[in-house]
Amino acid sequence: MTYYSPEKLTKTHGRLEDMVVFVTGATSGIGEAAARLFAAEGAKVVCAARRRDKLDLLVGAIEEEGGVAVAATCDVTDEASVAAAVQVALDRYGRLDGAFNNAGQGGAHGALHKISTDNFDRVVGVNLRGVFLCMKYEIAAMLREERGGAIVNTSSIGGLIGNGGNSAYAATKWGLAGLTKSAALDYARHRIRVNAIAPGATRSEMFDRWIDTEEARERMAAAFPMNGIAHPDDMARAALLLLTEETRWTTGVILPCDAGMSAGWKVM
């Protein structure tokens, strides 16, 4: 099994130079990797998450690396909190050019009839309603400027193919695909692009809680054609691509980042 290493992906090119980019779920996993990468690529990053202590550590680390960042405490399930966090970008930098809506939560594993309603509602609240709230305020901020903007949402392989035993999580990620594609159509004429990445197995705090033994991780890695577990930086690079001018003609896309799993059956 391979754990892909971020040390191979350190070269930057200023591809987000002078952009203001809002990142949710910024204090761990893919969100943290993205915040640091975006800053290295020249963005002014608004780091949004619930844990203020970790936000302050992240902003400090970015600044030590020569980047520009500000912390915005944010609970994506709370509309007032989301509105205030996006306002941080406007108050500090005067505009919003990009957003990476990455905050997410795993659902309860098991058969659908055994999943509690409270668990289902909690997962929907973060993974779907939370992205809706973020997009609502991000798009409103972007519409203030004629320059448009770019939004990237974090979906999942669970939003591309069936995900047995994880129906609540899968439902939110399939719903997120519809939200992404519909918003892409609504705002294309305003030059606001809306896309999503769909990660496969990626090493993170949430992944380690779900898959808590090395044996189980080996089995999961073997299910993917590339036989590996991605590093969060792999997903940050995909989000970066969709934020840049390199994809200026791309909107409404759900980009699989799943080591080939969604391409079809692997011949054993």
3-state secondary structure (DSSP) of residue 71: strand
Q: In whole angstroms, what is the distance from residue 166 CA to residue 173 CA?
A: 11
Supply 152's token pair. Answer: 């990237």
Supply 52's token pair. Answer: 């203020």
- Residue 20's beta-bridge partner residues? 44
State the DSSP code for 22.
E
Under 8 Å between Cβ of 82 and 74: yes
Residue whose C-alpha is closest to residue 68's, from 104, 39, 31, 29: 39
State the DSSP code for 259.
T
For the chain, the maximum distance between any two Cα atoms, rounded to a whole number of angstroms, is 55
Task: State the catalytic residues.
Answer: 169
Q: How far is CA 172 from CA 5, 19, 70, 71, 212, in A?
A: 29, 29, 29, 27, 23
